[in-house]
Amino acid sequence: MISKRLSIFFFLFFVATVVGNPFLPFFNKLYKTHQLIENKNFSEAKKSIFILKSKKDSTESILWYDLTRIYLHENKFDSAFIISDKALSVAIQQFQNQGKAKQIAKRYHLSLNDFDSLFAQQVEKAYLMNRSSNPDKIATNGSGLNQKEINQQFIRLFKTKLNFFQFRDSILNKSGVSKNQSFSPKSISLLGKYIFHLELTQDTLNFHSVIQTNSIATYKNYLKAYWSNIESETQLNFQIHQLNFFKIIEDSLYNLAYINTIKINTENGFLQFAKEYSRAPQKDSALNHAESIAYLEAKSVNNEAQYNYYLSKYPKAKHKDQVEYLLRYLNVIPVPYLTKDLKYVFVDSASSETWTDSSYDFAYPYASKYHKKWYANGSMLMPGCALVMKLDEFATPEFYYVEKDGSRVNKNSYDEIIQFAPNMAFVLKAERYGIVNSLGNEVLPCKFQRIYFDTALGIGAVFNGKYWGFINIAGKLITPIQFSGILNSKLSFTLNADLIELPKLLIPVSANNLWGYIDVNGQAAIEFKFKQTYPFKNGVALIESNESKWFYINRFGDVVSKEYDHIQDLENGFCKITKILDSKKKIGILAKPFRGFIHQLNTNSKQLNEISAQFNLPLTPENLRAEFKEIIPPNHDDIIYSVNDYFTGFAIKQKSGFTLYDTAGKAINKNPIQNINVQAQKLFVAKEKKQLKWFNPKTKTMSTNAVDEISILTDNLIGGLNKGVWNFYSIDESIINITNDKGTIFKDFEAIAPAEKEGFIIAQKKGLWGLLHQRGNLILDFVLDFKFLDIYFTDVPNQYIVRIPVQGNPEESTWGVYNGLTNKYIIDPVFDGISYEDFSGYWLVPFNEKNAWLDSKGNLFAE
C-alpha cells in the first residue's frame, strides 16, 4: 500500500517536473488569476489580483505583470507605466535565482525579456504621449504643470530607471543569469535613446520660450548659458543641435537690439549698439546712422560748436563738405520768396538777395527744430533741409528735399509726403506707398496700395492690393504678405496711409476666409478657425464661430463665456447679447470681466469710496468683476444704453414705459419713463409735452428742467435751448452763468457748440463767437471774447487764427492771428485768409493768386 502511494507520488512529481503542476489551477490563486487574463476575463482577474496584492503574493513578479495587462486593457497608461516598472524590478530580483527563473518560465512561459519588453512598451507610450503635448498649454492631467516641467519629470524618472537597470544588468551578467535567460534588455537602450530625445526636446522648449519673450536680457542670459553648457557637453550631435539655437538667438538679439535702437534714433544709441554688438551684421549700418544723425543734429542746432563737434568726431564722414559749407554761411537763413512770375526762389531773409538759382512751384522754409515739432506735410522731416515741389510736364507735383546750398538730398521724389512720426513719413509714388526716414532713406520702397503704422508698437501693416503683411520699424517684413484681412472683417479704412492703433496683445488676421491671431512678432498665436475675430480688450476677445455663434475667448483661444446668437461690444466693458427664442430676437446685457478696474470711471478700487461720495454714485465692489455676468438676461425686445463718465446705464422698454438699470443690473426708477431715447450714446433724454428732459445721475430721475433742444458739450455739461436762447447746464441741472475777467455775466446765448479741441466750447452773442474753456467739473473760463466770425486752433497754445468783420462793411472780413493770453494780435487781421499753421514761425497768406510766406514779425516774402 505504501509502495503504491509512493509510486503515485513519484509519478505526479515527474509530471509536475516535466509538464507542470496539474493541480495548480485548483490550489494556486495567482496562476488562476493569470489564466483569467489569458482568457480575457479582466474584470474577474482584477477583483482577484487586488486581494492577492495585499498578501505575500505581492513579491511575485507575475502579479505585477498581470496587473499591468489589466491597466492596459482599461487604457490607464499612467498606471500601466508605474506597475510595469514594478513588475520588471521584482522580476530582476527573482530571476537572479535560477530555480525561480525556471519556475516562471515553465509555469507562465515568460522570460526576463518579456518583463523588460512590457516596461519598454510603456516607456515608449509615455514618451510619445509626452512628445505630442502642446508646450504652450497647461497639462491636461490635472497637475497644473506646463510641458517643460512635465518633460523634466520624465527626464529625471527615465534617468533613475536607466541607472537602476544598468546596475541590475551588470549583476545579472556576473551571476550568469542574463546569459542563461538570453536577457537583452530593450528598456536600457530605449531609456537612453528617449532621455537624449527628451533633453533635445527640453532644449527646444527652452529655446521657444526664450525666443517668444522678445527680451534682450533673456536672449543674453541664454547665450551666456550656452557657453557653460557646451563646455560640459560631450555628444557632438547635441552640440550641433544647440549651436543652431545659439545662432538663431544671437541673430534675434541683434535684430531686436537694432530695432530698439532705431526706435530711440539717437547718435549715442547707434554708437553704443556698434560697440556692444561688434559682431552684428547691422554694425556698419548703425555707424552710418550715428554719423547721419550727428549731421542732422548739427544742422538743427546750427551753430559753430556743433558743426566743429561733427567734424572732429567724424573727420572722414560723407557729409564733411556740406558741414564746411554750412559753417561758411552759418548766419544766412534762406526763405522761400514768391516772384512776379509766381515761382518760389530762396533768398537771404536778412537782405532778400537770391540765395540759390533754382526755382520751384512751391517751397517750404528750411527745417531746423529736429524732432521738436513737425507737421503731417513732411516739411520738417529733415532738419537743415527744405521740402520743395515742382510740377512735371503733366502738371503732376513732385516733392523732394534740398540742402541749404540748393542741392538735392538724393534723387528720390514723391507725389505726396505724409509725416506720421518725428523721423518717419509715408511717401506716395505712382499710386504706391512706402516709408522714408529723416535721413532721406527709404525704409520701405513705394510698392503698396495701403500702409498703416503703429508708432507705439513699432510695427505696421501693408497691403499689396490682395493680401496684408506686417513690417517692423526697420521696414522688414515680420510676416509673409498672405493675410486676406486684419483687425476685423468689417473694418474700412478712409485713408490709404495713416497711423493705426494695433492691439498690444494679439492681432486678429484672416487667411483662407478664416480668422485667427498672430502676436506682435508675427508668429501664429491662435488657430485660424473663426468666421470673425475682434481685438482683445482686458484679456478677452469677441469671436463669431463658423456656426454663427458669438462668444469670448482668452489669450490661449479657450472659450470663456456662454454662446449667443449675436454680441454687440459696447464701450466700458459691456455688450448687448442676443438670443433667438421662438424665432424672436431677445436682448440682454453681458458684463465683461474687469480685474480691479471700475469700468465707467477708468479708475482703480482704492478710489472707489472717494468717487462714490463726491458724485453720489452707486459704486460698490460689485462693479469689480472677475468673470462674465448676465446683468440683464436676454429676454427683452430691445435695450438702449448710455455711456457717460458720470453714469453708464441701460433702458429697457416695457409695456408701461422704460425702466433704467445701472451697471449692476439693478432697476433705478420706480415709475416708468415714457418716450425715452439716447443722445450721442451719452445721455438718456425723454420727450414730454414737446420738451426734453435728461437723466440726472445725482437724483436718479429725469430732470425737472425742460428744454426745446439739447447739445451735449462734455460728459457733465450740456447746452439747453429754451424760448430761442441757449444756456449752460450741468448734468445735475445746475444752471451755469459765464463771467469774464471784467465781471460781466453772460447768459442767453444765440448758439453753443463743442469746439474742435476737446474741453473747449464756442458760444455766440450778437452774431460773433467767443471761446470758453471748461476748468474742473463746472467752471467755464473765458478764452476769447465775443468778437470773431471764425476761430481756429493752432498747434501753439493760446494762438488762434481768427476772422473778424471789416468795420463799416460787415459783409467783408479779414484774417489774423490772435494771442488769447495777451489779448493782442500776433499777425494783424489785414489778410484775405491765413492757412492753418504749416511751418513753425511762418504763415501762408493769399497773394497774387498764390500763397506767400509771412514770418512771425509780419515780413511778407513776395514781390
pLDDT digits (tens, 9 = 90+) for 553-588: 988 888 989 999 999 988 778 899 999 988 899 999
Residue 340, SS3 per DSSP: coil
Nearest to 715 by CA among 643, 816, 810, 822: 643
* CA–CA distances in Å: residue 193 to residues 113, 116, 186, 239, 386: 18, 16, 11, 16, 69
**d(Cα 508, Cα 505) in Å, to the nearest integer?**
10
Sheet containing 842-847: order of strands:
842-847, 850-855, 860-861
Phi, psi at 821, each rounded to 5°: -80, -40
**d(Cα 142, Cα 126) in Å, to the nearest integer?**
16
DSSP state of 559: B
Q: How far is CA 40 from the centre of its chain?
A: 57
**d(Cα 749, Cα 760) in Å, to the nearest integer?**
16
**d(Cα 162, Cα 187) in Å, to the nearest integer?**
8
**d(Cα 863, Cα 860) in Å, to the nearest integer?**
9
> Which grid coordinates are listed for 294?
550727428
The predicted pLDDT at position 227 comes to: 65
Residue with more model confidence, 742 or 591? 591
Residue with more model confidence, 255 or 230? 255
Strand residues in 655-748 grouped as ranges (E): 657-661, 676-679, 683-688, 691-696, 701-702, 709-714, 717-722, 725-730, 735-736, 738-739, 745-746
Mean predicted confidence (pLDDT) in 780-801: 90
**d(Cα 149, Cα 129) in Å, to the nearest integer?**
15
- The residues that bridge with 575 in the sheet, in sequence order, are 569, 590
**d(Cα 276, Cα 283) in Å, to the nearest integer?**
10
The predicted pLDDT at position 23 comes to: 46
Rounded (5°) CA angle 352-357-362: 80
Mean pLDDT in the chain? 83
First-to-last C-alpha distance (Å) of the chain: 151
Tell me: pLDDT of 595 over 60.
no
> Which of 57-66, 535-544, 716-725, 795-804 is predicted least confidently?
57-66
Residue with more model confidence, 832 or 779? 832
Mean predicted confidence (pLDDT) in 404-418: 94
Residue 64, SS3 per DSSP: helix
The predicted pLDDT at position 314 comes to: 92
Phi, psi at 233, each rounded to 5°: -90, 130
- The residues that bridge with 429 in the sheet, in sequence order, are 432
Phi/psi zone of residue 737: left (φ > 0), alpha (ψ -120 to 50 degrees), beta? beta
Each residue's pLDDT tens digit, 21-56: 554 454 578 888 888 888 888 888 888 888 777 676
Tell me: pLDDT of 12 over 90.
no
**d(Cα 733, Cα 750) in Å, to the nearest integer?**
20
The predicted pLDDT at position 117 comes to: 81
**d(Cα 22, Cα 3) in Å, to the nearest integer?**
22
**d(Cα 702, Cα 719) in Å, to the nearest integer?**
16
Say if CB 161 and CB 186 are below 8 A apart.
no
The predicted pLDDT at position 596 comes to: 40
Tell me: pLDDT of 602 over 60.
no
**d(Cα 348, Cα 554) in Å, to the nearest integer?**
63
> Which grid coordinates are listed for 442?
527709404
Burial level of 649, CB count in 10 A (0-12/13-18/19+)?
buried
Say if CB 596 and CB 585 are below 8 A apart.
no
Say if CB 346 and CB 364 are below 8 A apart.
no
CB atoms within 10 A of CB 203: 16
Residue with cell 538777395: 353
Tell me: pLDDT of 691 over 60.
yes
Each residue's pLDDT tens digit, 86-119: 888 888 888 878 788 888 888 888 888 888 888 8
**d(Cα 366, Cα 347) in Å, to the nearest integer?**
11
**d(Cα 792, Cα 800) in Å, to the nearest integer?**
6
> Which grid coordinates are listed for 674?
415714457
Mean predicted confidence (pLDDT) in 398-414: 94
CB atoms within 10 A of CB 526: 22
DSSP state of 409: S
Phi, psi at 232, each rounded to 5°: -95, -10
Residue with cell 549731421: 295
Secondary structure in 3-state letters for 567-623 = EEECCCCEEEEEEEECCEEEEEEEECCCCCEECCCCEEHHHHHHHHHHHCCCCCHHH
